[in-house]
Amino acid sequence: MSDSLASLRQQFGDRHSYYPQLARVAGGAAAAILLDYLLAQASADAIVALDAAAAIANATGLNAAELKTARQQLRDRDLLREQLAPDGRVTGQVPLALLHQRLTAFAQLLAAPSAATAAATNVDDCFPTRHQPPEIKTTPHYRFVGPWRSPEQLAQFQRALIDYFKHQGARHPDDKAFWTIDGLSKGLVSSYWDEFIAGQPLGTSQQVQRDWELAPGQPYPAFAEDRIQYYRQRGEPIEAAVERARRELRDPVKGQDLWDGFLRKCDRLADEARQAKALGVRTPYLPPAFTERQLPTKQSVMAKLAAIAPAPAAVPAPPEPSPLPASPAAPTKTPLATLRSLYESPLGRQIVEQQLAAYPEWGYAICDGKVVERHETAGEPHGKTQPD
């Protein structure tokens, strides 16, 4: 039996190269190393002392923890039978018949490639073999597992997240809600869930009230109006001035710098006002930004526009169609005095000539640069005539 085992070991080659292959039979890399050591040190009865940990460690390189793991792996596969000798030593015996059977079966598997491997072999160098992509295991009917107590509570939290992200202007609120819930199911901490459980509006714990704000996101009116007036004095339209001022106050670093400057400005104005009062001024001057004014709302603007907008006129009924005249009526004959006065100007001269040519029945003609009646130019051709 030992000769056949030695021949099987020679088929694998050097021990350092067949450890990965032998590990499949032994149960692990450490077990394969220990098994090879036992086979090399075994006598005819294949019994080896296992309590000599120092000698085994020097020969195999396994420490105490690895040696314990290797012995357990071999015991799990019935490849090591430990016994306690009368002298107190722990010995191990390898069942050579079982080991020979398993090594023979494993060697046959290595020598004969499977039909699937042979069919997938490609000898064309230009078109290498395509490996099949690994299969992705999926769990049917997957459900999120998280801190919620019931699916109904999860659904309420999801709707609250979607509504919150909609109001924040997110392009895909459903996706952001999904990733938030997915992070909770993986053990991540979310302030949205803490706010939802506490009954607070989502996002309130993430807001920070700055020194220049009455509430998170609401700056002091005088400070905001001062920044708006600053851009208005630089020629900015009112819409652009409001947008730039609010964008600055949302920046924590720039907003803090502007707030410090505004406090200095207010301190200087207060000193000047005290000096003016000491000199007898009843109402010291303050910039327009310090005048309290009510911001316009949509309702107030709509009410003003409705008050000044003209009332809509009643739509007139379509006129009844009148019968068309059989022939267009001839224009009324223009008096001679009117034509003569009109003929004196260059533009009127051209108009008079066109009218006389279009309506010869009027009985007018042009003679010596004047408009006269036709009976005065009897015997002369129509139009302009030469003097006698």
pLDDT tens by residue, 261-297 = 999 999 898 888 888 888 888 888 778 777 777 778 8
| Residue (of 90, 31, 108, 57) closest to 39 by Cα position | 31
d(CA 232, CA 249): 16
Same domain for 76 and 48, yes or no, is yes
Terminal alpha carbon distance of the chain: 161
pLDDT in tens, 29-66: 676 766 666 666 554 445 566 656 667 776 667 777 87
- Examine the fold and report which residue of 61, 89, 114 is the final residue of a domain before the chain moves on: 114
pLDDT of residue 240: 93
pLDDT of residue 296: 81
Same domain for 8 and 96, yes or no, is yes
Same domain for 23 and 100, yes or no, is yes
d(CA 201, CA 181): 17
**Position 317 confidence tier, pLDDT thresholds 50, 70, 90:** low
Residue 181 inside a domain? The answer is yes
Same domain for 7 and 108, yes or no, is yes
- Examine the fold and report which residue of 272, 288, 304 is the final residue of a domain before the chain moves on: 288
Same domain for 238 and 271, yes or no, is yes
Same domain for 31 and 86, yes or no, is yes
pLDDT in tens, 103-153: 777 666 666 555 445 555 555 566 566 677 777 776 666 677 888 888 899
Number of domains in the chain: 4
Identify the residue with better confidence: 14 or 274: 274
Q: Could you tell me the CATH number of the domain that includes residue 21? A: 1.10.10
d(CA 91, CA 84): 6
pLDDT of residue 285: 78
d(CA 193, CA 184): 8
Q: What angle do CA 10, 13, 17 make, to 5 degrees?
A: 145
Structural domain range at position 266: 213-288
Residue 295 inside a domain? The answer is no
| Residue (of 384, 380, 348) closest to 369 by Cα position | 384
Residue 310 inside a domain? The answer is no
Residue 366 inside a domain? The answer is yes
Distances (CA, A) of 350 to 256, 332, 341, 342: 79, 19, 13, 10
d(CA 242, CA 47): 92
Same domain for 225 and 202, yes or no, is no
Residue 266 inside a domain? The answer is yes
Residues 6 or more apart whose Cβ sits within 8 Å of residue 111:
none
| Among 184-193, 227-236, 304-313, the least confident range | 304-313
Same domain for 54 and 91, yes or no, is yes
Alpha-carbon torsion, ordered 148, 153, 159, 163, to 10 deg: -70
Same domain for 201 and 234, yes or no, is no
Same domain for 80 and 8, yes or no, is yes
Same domain for 43 and 96, yes or no, is yes
Residue 322 inside a domain? The answer is no
Same domain for 357 and 267, yes or no, is no
**Position 385 confidence tier, pLDDT thresholds 50, 70, 90:** very low
Do 226 and 262 touch, CB atoms closer than 8 A?
A: yes
Residues 6 or more apart whose Cβ sits within 8 Å of residue 351:
342
Residue 122 inside a domain? The answer is no
Do 146 and 185 touch, CB atoms closer than 8 A?
A: yes
Q: Other C-beta atoms within 10 Å of 57: how many?
A: 14
Residue 57 inside a domain? The answer is yes
Helix (H, G, I), strand (E, B) or coil at 218: strand
